[in-house]
Structure 1
Amino acid sequence: MGIDLSVIWFVIIVFATLMYIVMDGFDLGIGILFPFIRDKTSRDVMVNSVAPVWDGNETWLVLGGAALFGAFPLAYAIIIDALTLPLSLMLAGLIFRGVAFEFRFQATPSHRPFWDIAFQAGSILATFCQGVVVGAVVSGFKVTGRQFSGGQLDWLTSFNLFCGLGLVITYALLGATWLVMKSEDPLQQQMRVLTSRLLLALLVIFAIISIRTPLEHPQIAERWFSTPNLYYLLPVPICVLLFSGLLWRTVTRPESSHALPFICTLGLVFLGFSGLGISIWPNIIPPDISLWNAAAPLQSQGFMLVGALFILPFILMYSFWSYYVFRGKVRHGEGYH
């Protein structure tokens, strides 16, 4: 049996996407949480908690996009064609968020409120558009031959918009639990209260998507509810309940570990992402284009794999080192200047 390069590249793209969701998710979440925190000192602590690492987190987005382009060019072409507007808005949001991130530290007191609003708006816009893209991928695309044959506004559906809202809540929960770990009272206590509310909202989102998706897509319903798949996949919803219960317990007990809420949230994100992968596998463009049908020639995949296996350890090492160096609590007056 030979090595299936398409599966290897699919794993690399999934890994890069998950790393981006986790690592850029909580700093986008901090921007989403800005409207709930009015105190200038607390806002500075929030931004300083991610200042040393936020731009490096986006490395994973670049890696995932480049890998999709090189390893699965058909999938890349269809997604870009079908989702031109939400992807463009996402990039605009990321750019605006990045500019506001830097400028708010240098702005005069009279201008800082403008950059705070820009930081909030860019974070919310980028996150919402990412959720819309996820919903559109789950819903599938109209493809004729090897080309997208739908309209430019096919993504504008209630399900996709709801997925956008769901990702905003997910990233906000990541940001809140990150700040439980990185901040001290009174900001930490505010984040504990927000975490409990966001967790309830996220569970409602999970429930609605879990009910609606199988109803609208029979192939997904068969994947989850036919036997023996039902028994194999049952641990996913059970683990969601377990992580949710543990997260609720840790944020309502101040004496508990400050890091555990963030770890529990990472578990929920991983389970949600796994559910997405289970639902669409082995298609990379639902409902009919598998990852093998969309794959580049084996020679191209093999050539790129050499470079990927060389660069991935370096990305992981400098990411680990940056988080290790800037570990611990962030206090007022410390951090980015």
Structure 2
Amino acid sequence: MDLTTIWAFIIAFAVFAYVVMDGFDLGIGILFPTFDPGRERDRAMNSIAPVWDGNETWLVLGGGGLFAAFPLAYAVVLPATYPLIIAMLLGLVFRGVAFEYRWRDPNHRRFWDFAFTGGSLMAAMAQGMTLGALLQGVEVVDRAYAGSWFDWLTPYTLLCGFGVVAGYALLGSTWLIWKLDGEGQAHARKLALRSALATVVLMGAVSLYNVFLNAEYAARWLTAPEIYFAAPVPILTLLIAASLVRAITRDRNSKPFWLSIALFFFGMAGLGVTMWPYVVPPDMTIWDAAAPERSQVFMLIGVAITMPLILAYTAWAYWVFRGKVGDDGYH
């Protein structure tokens, strides 16, 4: 366990925190057209109003941490996925503007609702396709990206994009199960069940595709002794998925949301098994891309100070707004 490995886990934690926390409010944006205009949409949006912008802190930490701790990987991944990164940032901008202006400009609320949904869908799809582009491999020559402008656009990356969209919809719908009551909650349960089934199917499809995508990926999952360490991940994922469906159908409130997070956790664990120790497959490991040791130590001191503060104010915000959402906000 050296400094480079510690930094890999820090960035993995930041990415996981972002996916979970910003995932559920992106998911609400993706599902927004399925809610009736007026009270139902207002309650759904009010459920994330106190926390949505703070959730994006983790994106800054993950991206900034990659730039600082693994600068070579940052220099390769960005040129390989520029269109996707630009699309993601534009989606987040449109979504954030729409979130504010739909309250301040009620005469054009239909337009802002469309921007909220479109921005959420664009950001989620871009994030999933970026993951797919990284997993399918990036062409590197002389420590620089050597591929074309559209190497990221393949059936595999589209499949990963749809998987992330479905997963975010699952997080958003289970969040609403927890935060709403009455007809809104009943509607969220129907959406959650469909999203859960879509997420599990797409996770399975991506996992199966990985086996044929790269011989090294297949070896990690299908040959001994690696298979003995990797096998618990899909088994636990299936058990979590079954528990999730049961919790959704048995009128649980918060349990579906926590099980959705667990499903994402084991999905990310599967990615870790697939990619480790590469940060840019198939040639660049975390040690190849790491910053100098002194830089890592300096940054680690900063993270040791700032991360507990981020966790503390995030926990406090969620604790303060822990109730159900009514017509006039939290109660």
The bucket for the TM-score relative to the shorter chain is over 0.9
* % same residue: 48
CA distance in 2, matches of 1:275, 1:103: 39
1:73 matched residue in structure 2: 71
Q: Secondary structure at the match of 2:127?
A: helix
Alignment of 1:317-336 (within 5 A): 317-334=312-329
Matched AA of 2:56: E
Give, in angstroms, the shift of residue 335 of structure 1. Answer: 5.1
CA distance in 2, matches of 1:327, 1:30: 18
Q: 8 Å contact 2:220–2:230 — kept in the other structure?
A: no
Q: Deviations over 1:119-138 (max 9, x none)?
A: 00000000000000010111
Alignment of 1:174-253 (within 5 A): 174-253=171-250
CA distance in 1, matches of 2:314, 2:329: 21
Q: 8 Å contact 1:180–1:188 — kept in the other structure?
A: yes
Give, in angstroms, the shift of residue 39 of structure 1. Answer: 3.4
Confirm whether residue 152 of structure 1 aligns to residue 149 of structure 2: yes
Q: Secondary structure at the match of 2:279?
A: strand
CA distance in 2, matches of 1:251, 1:311: 36
Give, in angstroms, the shift of residue 235 of structure 1. Answer: 1.3
Q: Secondary structure at the match of 2:61?
A: helix
Q: Deviations over 1:61-89 (max 9, x none)?
A: 00111111011000000011111110011
2:15 matched residue in structure 1: 17
CA distance in 2, matches of 1:80, 1:207: 28
2:85 matched residue in structure 1: 87
Matched AA of 1:334: G
Equivalent position to 2:29, from 28, 31, 50: 31
Q: 8 Å contact 1:86–1:133 — kept in the other structure?
A: yes
CA distance in 1, matches of 2:46, 2:330: 5
In structure 2, stretches of 5+ residues that fail to align are: none
1:264 matched residue in structure 2: 259
Give aligned pairs, total.
331
Matched AA of 2:77: I
Confirm whether residue 111 of structure 1 aligns to residue 131 of structure 2: no
Matched AA of 1:226: T
Matched AA of 2:98: A
Confirm whether residue 42 of structure 1 aligns to residue 40 of structure 2: yes
TM-score, scaled to structure 2: 0.98
CA distance in 2, matches of 1:333, 1:84: 41
Q: 8 Å contact 2:94–2:116 — kept in the other structure?
A: yes
Q: 8 Å contact 1:42–1:187 — kept in the other structure?
A: yes
CA distance in 1, matches of 2:304, 2:136: 32
Q: Deviations over 1:157-203 (max 9, x none)?
A: 11001111110000000000000000001010011111111111112
Matched AA of 1:240: T
Higher helix proportion: 2
Give, in angstroms, the shift of residue 246 of structure 1. Answer: 1.0
Q: Secondary structure at the match of 1:150?
A: coil
Q: 8 Å contact 2:177–2:185 — kept in the other structure?
A: yes
Q: 8 Å contact 1:103–1:115 — kept in the other structure?
A: yes
CA distance in 1, matches of 2:237, 2:6: 27
Structure 1 vs Structure 2 CA RMSD? 1.1
Q: Secondary structure at the match of 2:288?
A: coil
CA distance in 1, matches of 2:136, 2:179: 37
Q: 8 Å contact 1:172–1:198 — kept in the other structure?
A: yes
Give, in angstroms, the shift of residue 216 of structure 1. Answer: 1.6
Equivalent position to 1:303, from 298, 303, 323: 298
Q: 8 Å contact 2:27–2:170 — kept in the other structure?
A: yes
1:99 matched residue in structure 2: 97
Matched AA of 1:322: A
Give, in angstroms, the shift of residue 38 of structure 1. Answer: 2.1
Q: Deviations over 1:236-281 (max 9, x none)?
A: 1111111111111111122xx3010001100111111111111010
In structure 1, stretches of 5+ residues that fail to align are: none
CA distance in 2, matches of 1:267, 1:295: 30
Q: Secondary structure at the match of 1:111?
A: helix
Matched AA of 1:163: C
Q: Secondary structure at the match of 1:323?
A: helix
Q: 8 Å contact 1:51–1:335 — kept in the other structure?
A: no
TM-score, scaled to structure 1: 0.96
Q: 8 Å contact 2:189–2:248 — kept in the other structure?
A: yes
Equivalent position to 1:58, from 41, 56, 59: 56
